[in-house]
Amino acid sequence: MGTFRVGLSADFTRPDGSPAFPMFDLTPLNAADRISWDYVPVTDGRIAAEDMAGYDALILLGARFDAQSFPGDGKLSLIARFGVGFDSVDVAACTANDVALVTTPNGVRRPVAVAILTLILALAGKLMAKDRMTRKGPEGWAQRADHMGDGLIGSVLGSVGVGNIGAEMFRMASPLGMRFIAADPYADKDTAAELGIELVELDEVFRQADFVTVNCPLSPATEKLVNADRLAMMKPTAHLINTARGPIVDEAALIAALQSGQIAGAGIDVFEEEPSPADNPLYRMDNVIVTPHALCWTDQCFAGIGADDVAAVLAVSQGEVPVGIVNRGIADSPGWRGKLDRFRSG
């Protein structure tokens, strides 16, 4: 074969065309034989088929890639999603077009777990309230006794999901002296036992936990999994933390629960609509910490994610099966195997 062409979605660039994330090291692609890369336009938030013609692989940041995004030339073999979520990609269409979809669970495991712990500690310590009152000077300092934090020893940390990120969250929280519970029908019982996690029914997580954290993927089964009924099960002193995907939580129900004092507070990094509009009521609540789906974004996070995506591209360009395939059945597909054979022989 000739040159293996790699596209990067154009949301990796700033408006002036310069790289938005310089820690994403593309040196291995530049150094590889037979590989060339450039940016693919993002139009109205998605990748268009006509812009993908001629590409063998795509590294995708935040743009959507739907069933109409696949070019007709049949060359595309790999979509490497920058991160662990893949709700922006039509997975069934990938399989139908003999395209492997990979994500980067290793790159996000520790950064997202750190982000969750950041929100737990900030909410427990009333960090935002104390920051605001300190800036008022002596008047604010006089209010210190009105904003007593919550100790974590003996409190209950609950998780909806105990996979890659959930397990890392519990692992990192182990010195805090909390009790661990989780609900996950696919949980590895040995891992749960090793980490001291009691596996319970989903509703029990909401009833028992002082901090309910959402650590499951978005799917038809999990959309609005955190609804008014489950929020009503929570303790009035409990907090909800969502760093997974916004639509897993019924945002209107969460706003109502916070406004009524049904729950004590929330840490929200993801929203039903992104970017979330400026008039979102969550922005005006003193008992809520909000971040723009970016709390885990660090130089190390993006370097790790980028390295995993580049490794997947290099593997496929050499006819090898990459790590982190979402549509796992593709590995046995004659069409996709044929593409790998062509790259290997080239």
Q: Catalytic residues, which ones?
A: 245, 274, 293
Q: Judge contact between 38 and 89, C-beta under 8 A.
A: no
Q: Judge contact between 116 and 243, C-beta under 8 A.
A: yes
Instruction: Locate 27 and state its tokens.
Output: 């040196």
Instruction: Locate 37 and state its tokens.
Output: 């890369």
- The alpha carbon dihedral of 138, 143, 144, 147 has a sign of negative
Q: Judge contact between 105 and 164, C-beta under 8 A.
A: yes
In sequence order, which residues have a C-beta less than 8 Å from that of residue 128 and are 6 or more positions away? 122, 286, 289
Number of residues that this document lists for the chain: 346
Give the three-class secondary structure for 27: helix
* Amino acid, res. 321: V
Instruction: Locate 146 and state its tokens.
Output: 């009105």
- Cβ neighbour number for residue 139 with a 10 Å cutoff: 8
Q: What's the N-to-C CA distance of the chain in angstroms?
A: 4
Nearest to 158 by CA among 111, 110, 120: 120
d(CA 331, CA 322): 10
Omega cis (within 30) before 275: yes
With tokens 């099966």, the residue in question is 321
* Amino acid, res. 196: G
With tokens 């991160």, the residue in question is 83
